[in-house]
Amino acid sequence: MGLSDFEYDRILELMGRAPNFLELSLFSVMWSEHCGYKNSRPLLSRFPNEGTRVVQGPGENAGVVEVGDGWALAFKMESHNHPSAVEPYEGAATGVGGIIRDILAMGARPVALLDSLRFGPLDGERNRYLFREVVRGIGGYGNAVGVPTVGGEVEFGRAYSGNPLVNAMCVGLIRVEDLVRSSATGNGNLVVLLGSKTGRDGIHGATFASDELTDESESKRSNVQVGDPFCEKMLIECCLRLLDEDLLVSLQDLGAAGITSSASEMAAKGGVGIEIETDRVPLRESGMEPTEVMISESQERMLAVVEPEKIDEVLLLAERYELVGAVVGRVAGHGDLRVIHDGEVVGTVPAEHLADAPVYERDVVRPRYLDDVPKLDPNELPEPEDYNTVLIAILGHPNLRSRRPIFTQYDHQVGTDTVVLPGADAAVVRIKGTDLGFAATTDGRGRHCYLDPRGGGAATVAEAYRNLSCVGAEPVAVTDCLNFGSPEKPDGYYQLAECIEGMSEACEVFGTPVVSGNVSLYNETDRGAIYPTPTIGMVGVMRDVSRHATPTFKREGDLVVVIRSGRRVSLAGSDYLEIVHGRITGRPPEPDLAAEKETADLVRGLVESGLVDTVHDISGGGEIVAVAEMALAGGLGIEYPKGAFERMTAGLGRGRADVALFGEDSGTFVVAVPEERWGDLQAALSGNAGYDYWIGTVGGDSIKVGDTIDVKLSDLEKAYERDLFEVHAPEGGHIG
């Protein structure tokens, strides 16, 4: 059941007796790492979670922030890693369904989905299968349920072979006064199950998600739920209607641990007890035992507390939406989660004990491998003989190639509110009937976090902040999904603790509190752990959604400028180093958070003022990859005059073209303006803390960089737009 001897002894102490099988099963799922956060809770307290726009921080189904004019955003991110490793389509699909219900439980209408994905290299057949089916699962569920998938990101690396990461984020829209909490209140109020019938799918899914993946994991397909997006669509509309008509006291979704989790958490938050009559739960399969009913993770279900005089209206409305609606229990004053079957009490546990799993605080010990990571001397690397070939190869690598084959499988315009479509730095969505809008992004930097956990954690937050600033949104808050290996191993716990510290420092500097999130540990196989991969989901608000920017070159003759927060670029830990030289080493530059914030805020101001409508941040692949992406998006080339490139190389690359072109840092943007606005841009940039330099002029059908690069956009496009789902030759290795 996943419980240690210590935990069993603790149960005996709390209960004052030996639990029966049902009661032990309740503890098993609620005290799993997936539900109980046993190893991460002490570390999570480090996150800042208060801010001027925060309406609801951690502790509810989702965080909530104000947008303006009485509108608020509810948002959260969660993982479905282990289920997707053994049943990728349903694992990904039910991950989408589960995060939608978290938003619904706040009383918000889900309006946007994003994802963050990691897979092993695509030269492996199993990795290709997982990738293809996960993408199909996300699209299959999101498209059918009618919530647009507006953004996301994906990377490939050997550390994720056999253990993919599938993180789903949902954003919902709500009026501040309509916010719902999940606390159960009112002795004698009824507990109602809404949605789908209950089956045996997903039993002990929470426990399964709290173990390392092994060769035996394939046999645990029954731990993976099966989704029905059409039922979920009806559930969304029904619940919002019930809330609009003031028929519910509180609402909670059923996810991991099923009725057990929802009922015990609602009871513990409200300081009450809940009695569940398992023989009144509508079943999809005959002969289910009370234990199976309590811990089933069947999808598309919500638990609601209803006043007795309103129950007929609630059940009638559920029937109109073709949903199962059944009274399965009541709120009581005894403080227990009490399970009743055929009129007999078959198990009873104080709800507060179930909701308060043991906490493990471990020593934070620096791993030996970090001491063995050498400083990277670029002069030890051979310089490329043909930069055209190198640029084509980097743009054609799966980690930097176009994501069009993914996002074209998603309906990203249902609802007609998506303003900036997938492929930009962040998605932009309008709020109908107003000038307001919001932007959202997901970001992760696993390789960076492996080479420098604290610096990588900070850099992940910084990248999300840049991406929102690129489109003109004011970043306001964060949700996260912390994907790590075993916390019981010193390396894994150190990575978790240090990444959280780096993320916290960045959130404090940027003023972006963490208002919700999820922790997914034990992401490892017999081949080792994944890269430490904290994923950031960040939202930003826009006072005027029409004032936004995209990374697309839009006009012949536009002048292109790079705006930096510092003067350091490095090949350490870079895409160039891995793709061209086959090496993953070196310590990437630590972000200067204060300078980054100042530069990002400056760029956002340029967009908000209407001066700039073309912006892209420099990230994986360095400056020339960012510029190439802008050129390909607009179908317009760019020419770096020889003198401009030589000055850039002398300043950034210390004479090496590969460092200047492909070196990575943090806090850098590329912007383009019409020539007639050049003076206005110079005036806006004068006196800023960073520095800027002109790199060239938009035009033509090629990218020309001094005498170093001269390549047709058509040749770059062939590599960049190559289908990600094709069979691939082995990746990596020296090509330059």
For residue 118, the model assigns a pLDDT of 98
pLDDT band at 678 (very low <50, low <70, confident <90, very high): very high
CA distance 505 to 526: 34
CA distance 711 to 696: 15
For residue 224, the model assigns a pLDDT of 66
106 neighbors 253 (Cβ within 8 angstroms): no
pLDDT band at 206 (very low <50, low <70, confident <90, very high): very low
**What tens digit of pLDDT does each residue of 605-639 get?**
999 999 999 999 999 999 999 999 999 999 999 99
**What tens digit of pLDDT does each residue of 452-465 get?**
999 999 999 999 99
- DSSP letters for 329-358: EEEESS-EEEEEETTEEEEEEEHHHHT---
Q: Token match 């498209």: residue?
A: 143
Amino acid letter at 31? W
For residue 186, the model assigns a pLDDT of 95
The domains found in the chain, sorted by start residue, are 1-31+180-357 (3.90.650.10), 40-174+404-544 (3.30.1330.10), 368-401+549-736 (3.90.650.10)
Q: Which residues are catalytic?
A: 34, 80
**What tens digit of pLDDT does each residue of 56-97 get?**
999 999 999 999 999 999 999 999 999 999 999 999 999 999
pLDDT band at 734 (very low <50, low <70, confident <90, very high): very low
For residue 642, the model assigns a pLDDT of 86
pLDDT at 430 over 50: yes
For residue 517, the model assigns a pLDDT of 96
CA distance 337 to 329: 10
Whole-prediction pTM value? 0.94
pLDDT at 220 over 80: no
CA distance 27 to 36: 10
pLDDT over 70 for what percent of the chain? Answer: 94
**What tens digit of pLDDT does each residue of 263-275 get?**
999 999 999 999 9
Amino acid letter at 439? A
- DSSP letters for 83-95: HHHHSHHHHHHHH
For residue 736, the model assigns a pLDDT of 40
333 neighbors 323 (Cβ within 8 angstroms): no
Nearest to 98 by CA among 302, 239, 324: 302
Q: Which of 68-82, 209-223, 509-523 has the lowest mean pLDDT?
A: 209-223
